[in-house]
Amino acid sequence: MIMHTHQQLLLVFLAIVLSASVLEALVLSHQRGFDWRAAAVSVGDLLGRRLLLMTGISTSGLILEAVWPHRLTSVRIDGPAMFLLLFVGQEFLYYWYHRASHRIRWLWLTHSVHHSPNELTLSAAYRIGWLQHVTGATVFFAPLVWVGFRPDVVVLALSLNLLYQFWLHTTWIPRLGWLEYVLNTPSAHRVHHAANLEYLDANYGGVLIVFDRLFGTYVAERRDVPCRFGLVKPQTSNNILRVEFDPWISLLRDLRQARNLREVLGLLFAPPGWRPDGEGETTEDLRRRLSDVSAASA
């Protein structure tokens, strides 16, 4: 029953996001122009990801199903308390999954595809990466299965989380007052997608923004610092193969030059931009250099 509902919601989700993104594209095209080629890459990403899932190339279900026999108990969502537990638990784990996807290169390989658009529009929401389901990131949600939530229920909860985030990928919705203290909003998500040094590695929440505030990763959008969207080194190609596989090619190139196991592990699991000599381009490296330049010029 849950899986059937999930499939129905997926079809509804696809219809909503595609219709809404086309409508936004038409309006923006009339107002200020619109990058149709970038939008086509996002559609290609969506279709390619669905085709890969149909072939069964995925570790997501395998991970959750492997945990299920070892669950502590079986949880039934038969009231508000259990629903709230699932919601808050999923939000907490999503925060750490999303934060890790920015701080561990192995996970960033595919998550960087989502951040590759140089404009933030609704079509960017479903550019997620063809190989999203093969990196093992679903392990972050395994604790929910371990405590007793069925794997298909966990997948459904995560799908609803992602559905909520669709409308966040806009530049035309302003700040939303007191809601900014509780919910992930378009303003908060613009910061998350910005490549400005002031905004890097911030606002990882799904539906809620409270865990960012709790763990010190919340950054508010500033009027004096307009968001520059995309990667720190912008992806300028609209060739979908380059968008999908450039991060993997870069990793393989770096691994070929690794001299020992420490360097291999660092290149795989340290933050994106890490280099063995300490002269890399991690967020910390970039901010340290800016600080040194500012200190030298003071």
Please give the model's pTM, rounded to 2 decimal places: 0.93
Say what the pLDDT of residue 7 is. Answer: 64
Q: What is the DSSP letter of 256?
A: H
Q: Which region among 210-214, 231-235, 279-283, 292-296 has the lowest average model confidence (pLDDT)?
A: 292-296
Q: What is the mean pLDDT of residues 95-105?
A: 98
In the structure, what pLDDT confidence band is assigned to residue 2 with cuts at 50, 70 and 90? very low
Residue 33 is assigned to a structural domain of this protein:
yes
Residue 246 is assigned to a structural domain of this protein:
no
Q: What is the mean pLDDT of residues 99-103?
A: 98
Q: Is the pLDDT of residue 4 over 80?
A: no
Q: What is the mean pLDDT of residues 66-82?
A: 92
> CA 256 to CA 271: how far, in whole Å?
18
Say what the pLDDT of residue 55 is. Answer: 81
Range of the domain at 69: 2-166
Supply the mean pLDDT for the chain: 92
Please state the domain count of the chain. Answer: 1
Say what the pLDDT of residue 154 is. Answer: 94
> CA 178 to CA 209: how far, in whole Å?
12
Q: Is the pLDDT of residue 251 over 70?
A: yes
Count the alpha carbons within 13 Å of 262 in the hemisphere toward its beta carbon: 3
Say what the pLDDT of residue 5 is. Answer: 55
Residue range 18-66, pLDDT digits in tens: 999 999 999 999 898 899 999 999 999 999 998 888 787 777 788 999 9
Residue range 172-190, pLDDT digits in tens: 999 999 999 999 999 999 9
What percent of the chain lies above the pLDDT cut of 90? 79
Q: What is the mean pLDDT of residues 232-252?
A: 96
Q: Is the pLDDT of residue 1 over 90?
A: no
Q: Return the ∠ at Cα 168 (arms to 162 and 170), rounded to 5°.
A: 140
Residue 11 is assigned to a structural domain of this protein:
yes
Residue 271 is assigned to a structural domain of this protein:
no
Residue 274 is assigned to a structural domain of this protein:
no
Which tokens hold the place of 99?
Answer: 């934060």
Residue 133 — left, alpha, or beta (φ > 0 → left; ψ -120 to 50 → alpha)?
Answer: alpha
Q: Is the pLDDT of residue 224 over 90?
A: yes
Residue range 126-161, pLDDT digits in tens: 999 999 888 999 999 999 999 999 999 999 899 899
Say what the pLDDT of residue 286 is. Answer: 93
Residue 88 is assigned to a structural domain of this protein:
yes
Give me the long-range contacts of 235-243 (CB less than 8 A, separation at least 24): 235/116, 235/118, 236/118, 238/37, 238/38, 238/40, 238/41, 240/41, 240/44, 240/45, 240/48, 243/41, 243/45, 243/113, 243/116, 243/127
Residue 62 is assigned to a structural domain of this protein:
yes
In the structure, what pLDDT confidence band is assigned to residue 293 with cuts at 50, 70 and 90? confident
CA 257, 263, 265, 268 torsion-angle sign: negative
| 194 strand-pairing partners | 229
Q: What residues contact residue 175 under an 8 Å CB cut-off, 6+ apart?
A: 185, 187, 221
> CA 245 to CA 250: how far, in whole Å?
9
Distances (CA, A) of 192 to 8, 120, 154, 187, 217: 30, 11, 25, 9, 10
Q: What is the mean pLDDT of residues 98-102?
A: 98
Residue 184 is assigned to a structural domain of this protein:
no
